[in-house]
């Protein structure tokens, strides 16, 4: 069980990221810790803000709209990441609110986001989500469809910064992380040009050793959700 104090939990997770980075001969500063605050209220989020955490992840546009404008008044430098699936009809709201969108996975969404970004003159960073385990119930484009989708996103002037994936549950995540890293390399999305959004509370250290640039951690920071 993680300690109850949010600041202690945050320090513990950061120490784990730093240790994993050393193992991989990387700098801890190359890994962005996204605190997954979906379903958490302002009372739960405020202690992490007070402890200096600034990157947060939300699953739903509506939930983020309800709580983050007020929270951002206390911490205007917060960077908000949309990590859940995005409906095309919510593109305008997502572009207005989020600084990064991790779930771009289809042509219709690329079109909607491009229009929304042009209209708002605001360009959140975009990760293309890959269905790395070929699971019917998960979002993400098929591995075979990625090159065409990347081309389409770039032609639409979306600021693509990397790939995102969620491995299948209850299996060893490392082979899936390694596969995503290989796919990123094959598509010119590694190094200065690209990121890898992969790894959650149960496996973020493994993800860091394999090249994650963004890890999405909820339970280890907030405790188990009711």
Q: 148: domain range?
A: 6-222
Residue found by looking up tokens 């098929």 in the block: 142
Q: Is the pLDDT of residue 192 over 70?
A: no
Distance CA 169, CA 143 (A): 18
Neighbour tally for 139: CB within 10 Å: 18
Confirm whether 195 is domain-assigned: yes
3-class DSSP state of 55: strand
Locate all alpha helices (DSSP H) within the chain, ordered by sequence.
6-23, 42-50, 61-74, 91-97, 107-120, 146-155, 174-186, 204-210, 219-222
CATH of the domain at 49: 3.20.20.10
Please report the pLDDT score of residue 226 as a whole number. 61
Cβ pair 154, 160 in contact under 8 A: yes
Please report the pLDDT score of residue 137 as a whole number. 86
- What does the pLDDT look like over 148-184, one tens digit per residue? 999 999 999 999 999 999 999 989 999 999 999 999 9
Q: Closest Cα to residue 208, out of 2, 18, 15?
A: 18
Q: Is the pLDDT of residue 78 over 90?
A: yes
Residues 6+ apart with CB under 8 A from 47: 5, 6, 7
Confirm whether 15 is domain-assigned: yes
> Which pair of structure tokens corresponds to residue 82?
């949309």
pTM beyond 0.85: the answer is yes
Please report the pLDDT score of residue 146 as a whole number. 97
Residues 6+ apart with CB under 8 A from 90: 61
Please report the pLDDT score of residue 190 as a whole number. 66
Cβ pair 35, 218 in contact under 8 A: yes
- What is the overall mean pLDDT for the chain? 94
Domain count along the chain: 1
- What does the pLDDT look like over 14-53, one tens digit per residue? 999 999 999 999 999 999 999 999 999 999 999 999 999 9
Confirm whether 136 is domain-assigned: yes
Confirm whether 1 is domain-assigned: no
Confirm whether 127 is domain-assigned: yes
Q: Is the pLDDT of residue 104 over 80?
A: yes
């Amino acid at each position: 069980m993680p300690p109850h104090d949010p600041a202690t939990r945050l320090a513990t997770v950061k120490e784990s990221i730093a240790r994993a980075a050393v193992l991989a001969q990387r700098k801890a500063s190359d890994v962005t810790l996204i605190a997954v605050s979906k379903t958490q209220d302002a009372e739960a989020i405020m202690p992490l803000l007070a402890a200096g955490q600034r990157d947060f992840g939300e699953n739903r546009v509506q939930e983020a709209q309800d709580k983050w404008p007020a929270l951002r008044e206390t911490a205007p430098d917060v960077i908000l990441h949309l990590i859940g699936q995005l409906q095309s009809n919510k593109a305008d709201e997502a572009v207005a609110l989020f600084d990064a969108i991790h779930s771009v996975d289809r042509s219709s969404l690329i079109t909607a986001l491009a229009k929304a970004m042009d209209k708002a003159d605001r360009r959140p960073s975009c990760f293309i989500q890959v269905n790395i385990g070929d699971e019917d119930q998960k979002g993400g484009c098929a591995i075979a469809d990625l090159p065409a989708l990347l081309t389409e996103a770039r032609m639409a002037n979306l600021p693509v910064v990397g790939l995102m994936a969620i491995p299948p549950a209850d299996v060893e995540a490392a082979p899936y992380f390694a596969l995503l890293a290989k796919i990123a390399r094959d598509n010119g999305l590694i190094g200065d040009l690209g990121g890898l959004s992969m790894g959650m509370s149960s496996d973020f250290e493994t993800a860091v050793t394999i090249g994650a640039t963004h890890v999405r951690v909820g339970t280890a920071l907030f405790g188990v959700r009711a």
